Structure 1
Amino acid sequence: MSDPQRNNVPLGILLMIGSTIVFALQDGISRHLAGTYNTWMVVMIRYWFFAAFVIVLAARGRGGLRRAARTEQPFLQIFRGLLLAGEVCVAIYGFTLLGLINSQAVFISYPLLVAALSGPVLGERVGWRRWSAIGIGLIGVLIILEPGVGVFDPAAIIPLISALMFALYGLLTRYAARRDSTETSFFWTGVSGAVMMTALGVWFWEPMTGPDWAWMSVLCITGVLGHWLLIKCYEVAEAGAVQPFAYFHLVWASILGMTIFGEVLRNNILIGATLIVGAGLFTLWRERVKG
């Protein structure tokens, strides 16, 4: 019998939408800071707070840090953490070059990439319906990137690389979950990422103004808050019921991009993003039906 706490879908939806608002704010602040300071330093400070959060969370859990850190696949867990830290750097760098709207419109293709790579990585069977949805979503990506219009900007590939890295991270997380708990994966994600970013970021330290330190503090707090909201979301509701609402991230990021950074929502982005979201929702639905 299912745990009633895991079937509170309305609360789960509210928590998911709340997390998308927080993560969109985080993207906007990241764009501002990385546009003024180097990306390595910004992500390093952000990861310091993230690592502190996961360590405190693990220490308060049953069994403490020892239980959270225990794993039979340390290399996989470390690689996952390094991969996510690298993806964050790539994503933020993309914000500074392309803006929030362009970057997020392409990045939301990651569920389709997860579906496409689930076969070779996890050995799952991907049927023709999901392959059709993946193809339609990739057409949406091409509409956004406009590779045949004028001189193609290679920087437009950056959010697609970010989406590919995040999709691979998600698949490796699923693979790790076969032998490790969520707490263990979360612990190694924060700690290994913080170690990597410290090793890189300390060489690129720049003095920061008082107001930007305030923004950095907000960035760190939103990072912790966003992950906390996601954790609570998946505690109270099944992932399949709330995951479609993650696409609200694009809505909030677009609003921020237009109102704060003066970005423009072009027709090709609107059309392409609609195709990607539609294909992604269909893929999520098929996974739920299959499950």
Structure 2
Amino acid sequence: MTAQNTRLGIWLMIVTTVVFALQDGISRHLAAEYNVLMVVMIRYWFFAAFVVTLATRQAGGVRAAARTEQPVLQAFRAVLLVAEICIMVTAFVLLGLVESHAVFTCYPLLIAALSGPVLGEKVGWRRWCAIGVGFVGVLIILQPSGGVFAVEALVPLAAAFGFALYGLLTRYAARKDSAQTSFFWTGTVGAVAITAVGVWGWEPMSAPDWGWMGALCVTGALGHYLLIKCYEVAEASAVQPFAYLQLVWGAMLGVSVFGEQIRWNVALGAALVVAAGIFTLWRAQVAAARAR
């Protein structure tokens, strides 16, 4: 991978985090006014159409994209991601963007912690120490003695756990299936699953909010497209640390648009979580280089 491609990948990741932060802000607005399941369902309809369109442009078309030896695993991944998105959007309404993102940022640490029992990967003592530091950061954010801590604070933590498990299962599926196949199943099966429950929560939507819904669909598809391009031109280990910028953009939106506040414990805890996460990514890169 050339330095130029790595730089391009970094810029693509930065733009991706901006797009996803905008998506989160729009989701927060719509979910505060309408049924969360309906909002996610309409977003997924557009996402499924985007996935199918991409598949038709690949060699072998839709049939090749859908071909898999592990349909149960792929379907479970898709449903898990839908559930995680619904939980996270609910967290935006309950806690706001700042605190939800601060807690959710621990998902790379959860991936590292679960990679041993789920994938059989070895996690060294340095990464375990980083994981421990990261979860101290989560405790600082949650403030068990008071402050932000409430049942609602566990909602983004549940979303982080769901997304971490989704990421691990995606890596497990990659042992037999291509990224194209996993992406196809994520979009199509996810759309079917959320429609089965979301259609019952349908509510009339105002004309301006239909405009916001259109923006949500576009930012969702654009964000995934940029992420795909990012990983095409640069190694994941080189660009992944920049994914934490979504916390920054999300916090800026939360403060400037929704009138949220950044508590000292949230800022301190998030800094610890991000530092631990970046260290964990670096140690994983070192371990992979030694294995090669």
TM-score interval (norm. to shorter): over 0.9
| Structure 2 counterpart of 1:90, from 66, 87, 92 | 87
Counterpart CA distance in 2 for 1:280 and 1:152 is 22
Structure 2 counterpart of 1:244: 241
Counterpart CA distance in 2 for 1:84 and 1:149 is 31
| Structure 2 counterpart of 1:212, from 209, 212, 220 | 209
Counterpart CA distance in 2 for 1:104 and 1:151 is 14
Q: 1:82 to 1:259 in 2, by over 3 A?
A: same
Matched letter for residue 89 of structure 1: C
Q: 1:42 to 1:273 in 2, by over 3 A?
A: same
Structure 2 counterpart of 1:14: 11
Aligned residue pair count: 288
| Structure 2 counterpart of 1:142, from 139, 143, 156 | 139
Q: 1:188 to 1:29 in 2, by over 3 A?
A: same
Structure 1 counterpart of 2:193: 196
Task: Output one character per residue of 1:108-136: Cα deviation in whole Å (capped at 9) or x when no partner.
Answer: 10000000000000000111100000000
Structure 2 counterpart of 1:107: 104
Structure 1 counterpart of 2:228: 231
Task: Output one character per residue of 1:117-164: Cα deviation in whole Å (capped at 9) or x when no partner.
Answer: 000000001111000000000000000001112694111000000000
| Structure 2 counterpart of 1:24, from 21, 24, 27 | 21
Structure 2 counterpart of 1:72: 69
SS where residue 96 of structure 2 aligns?
helix
SS where residue 48 of structure 2 aligns?
helix
Matched letter for residue 76 of structure 1: L
Counterpart CA distance in 1 for 2:148 and 2:53 is 49
Counterpart CA distance in 1 for 2:147 and 2:283 is 37
2:269 is the alignment partner of 1:272: yes
Q: 1:206 Cα deviation (Å)?
A: 0.2
Matched letter for residue 199 of structure 2: V
- Identity among equivalent pairs (%): 66
Q: Does the CA contact (< 8 Å) of 1:7 and 1:238 recur in 2?
A: no
Q: Does the CA contact (< 8 Å) of 1:119 and 1:126 recur in 2?
A: yes
Q: Does the CA contact (< 8 Å) of 1:7 and 1:236 recur in 2?
A: no
Task: Output one character per residue of 1:145-199: Cα deviation in whole Å (capped at 9) or x when no partner.
Answer: 0111269411100000000000000000000000000000000000111001100
SS where residue 8 of structure 1 aligns?
helix
Name stretches of at least 5 consecutive residues in structure 2 with no aligned partner: none
Counterpart CA distance in 1 for 2:8 and 2:143 is 39
Task: Output one character per residue of 1:238-268: Cα deviation in whole Å (capped at 9) or x when no partner.
Answer: 1100000000000000000000000001100
Q: Does the CA contact (< 8 Å) of 2:141 and 2:148 recur in 1?
A: no
Counterpart CA distance in 1 for 2:121 and 2:10 is 28
2:6 is the alignment partner of 1:43: no
Matching of residues 134-173 of structure 1 within 5 Å: 134-149=131-146, 152-173=149-170
User: More displaced, 151-160 or 244-253?
Assistant: 151-160
Counterpart CA distance in 1 for 2:151 and 2:129 is 27
Name stretches of at least 5 consecutive residues in structure 1 with no aligned partner: none
2:117 is the alignment partner of 1:120: yes
Alpha-carbon RMSD across the aligned residues, in angstroms, is 1.1
Counterpart CA distance in 2 for 1:28 and 1:58 is 29
Counterpart CA distance in 1 for 2:52 and 2:147 is 49
Matched letter for residue 145 of structure 2: G
Structure 1 counterpart of 2:129: 132
Q: Does the CA contact (< 8 Å) of 1:7 and 1:237 recur in 2?
A: no
